[in-house]
Amino acid sequence: MSEKFANLLPRFLKYVKVETRSDPNSQTIPSSSKETAFLKQLQDELQSLGLTDVHLNPDNSYLVATIPSNVDAKVPVIGFLAHVDTADFNAVNVNPQVVKHYDGHSPIALGDGKYQLDPAEFPALKNYAGQTLVTTDGTTLLGADDKSGVAEIVTMAEYLMAHPEIKHGEIRIGLSPDEEIGTGADHFDTDDFAADFAYTVDGGPLGELEYETFNAAEAKLTIHGKNVHTGVAKGAMVNAIQVGIDYHNLLPEHDRAEKTEGREGFFHLYQFDGGVDQVTMTYLIRDHDRQKFESRKQLMQQLADQLNSQLDQPRIELNIKDQYYNMREVLDKHMEVVDLAKQAMEDLDIKPVIYPVRGGTDGSTISFMGLPTPNLFAGGENMHSRFEYVSVQTMKKALEVLLKIVQLNVTKNQ
């Protein structure tokens, strides 16, 4: 095995076994002490590799470190970012399986075989014939989202520190908590990170290069009903459940996550709690187009006002909170950052896969803070589930892309 790849898989397997699930109900930064413990382990590792200015920012719990420049010319400072937390799925006792020389067509038993990765259900498996896959044992997620990105960045740092003949400018590394609950990037400190542009290494399969995301908001409705005995309910009861159903049915029927694709936006009802007396409903609002996004928010308010006017008194409270915006608004003005990553992939015979992301990344928020930050592939498939897996060969390619980017940054700016 090439020296540059020697520690990539062992490092990744070590990382995924550490539980770092973020907690959406926590009010602390980070949301879980397990994230802090892991970040401190990574801090020790980066210091042992010889990186400088390695510190855990006390205000946002970002672990930041520097690979010093080894060229005389002044070149832009590049940042690479990945998140250490895992998603809302069981992450206790992750037991990764390494499947060598996968044949591309047979089902892969996960653990005791109760669950399996079957190409009939997951056709992307056919793309990995002959490769080494890391899967779960069926009881947990894997954590390739985003410990594959963390492992790739740390391995890049290790290789560059050991090979000063590879010329590069200053490189900043940022490893973050709480990406999966959407709060980590809210506290990002651009002054502390001090890069000119950056990349999140948090994408999926080979070649993904993402610079267009959703605009996103969360809408929470609280419906106050009036519960009386059903025998005397006529003209007196206000069933909050029924009001909630009526509200939902007024939204465009097609505009649901399960019925849309590409640049089609949606309203996604993902939580409905309560009873006759009170109901809470929580929606995701998504659209790539900012004007349509704003119209969606306005429609939800109009429908709440409409129903309130028909009830005996206003009973629907609506609170809408913006979460992030389409990073393309920023990156359209900084396409040289995207083009640098695109050239790096093409120089390595990797076809860039560019499409509008039906989601967001930390880069969505960070780009609007003044640091242009598109997203690069890290390798994971079927993320956030027991069916998650990653190709070791794709992880190696991701590492190669990071190394190529830092070298191109020098040659383009000499």
Closest C-alpha among 54, 144, 48 to residue 98: 144
Evaluate whether 198 touches 81 at the Cβ level (below 8 Å). yes
Q: Six-digit token pair at 371?
A: 């640091």
Please classify residue 191 by burial: count the beta carbons closer than 10 Å to its beta carbon, then call 0-12 exposed, 13-18 middle and 19+ buried: exposed
Evaluate whether 78 touches 409 at the Cβ level (below 8 Å). yes
179 is catalytic: yes
Distance CA 286, CA 284 (A): 6
339 is catalytic: no
Distance CA 146, CA 204 (A): 10
180 is in an annotated binding site: yes
The overall longest dimension of the chain from CA atoms, in Å, is 85
Closest C-alpha among 102, 122, 328 to residue 215: 328
Catalytic position from the list 35, 85, 137, 178: 85
Distance CA 237, CA 240 (A): 9
Which residues, other chains included, contact 14 with Cβ-Cβ below 8 Å and sequence gap of 6+? none
Catalytic position from the list 35, 179, 255, 400: 179
Supply angle C-alpha 196, 200, 206, rounded to 5.
Answer: 130
145 is in an annotated binding site: yes
202 is in an annotated binding site: yes
- Name the pairing type of β-strands 78-83 and 171-176: parallel
Which residues, other chains included, contact 240 with Cβ-Cβ below 8 Å and sequence gap of 6+? 223, 224, 225, 274, 275, 276, 277, 278, 279, 315
Distance CA 136, CA 133 (A): 10
What order do you get walking across the sheet with 133-135 strand by strand? Answer: 97-99, 133-135, 389-391, 380-381
Distance CA 281, CA 270 (A): 8
Instruction: Show which residues are catalytic.
Output: 85, 179
Residues marked as binding?
A: 83, 145, 180, 202, 384
Residues marked as binding for Zn(2+)?
A: 83, 145, 180, 202, 384
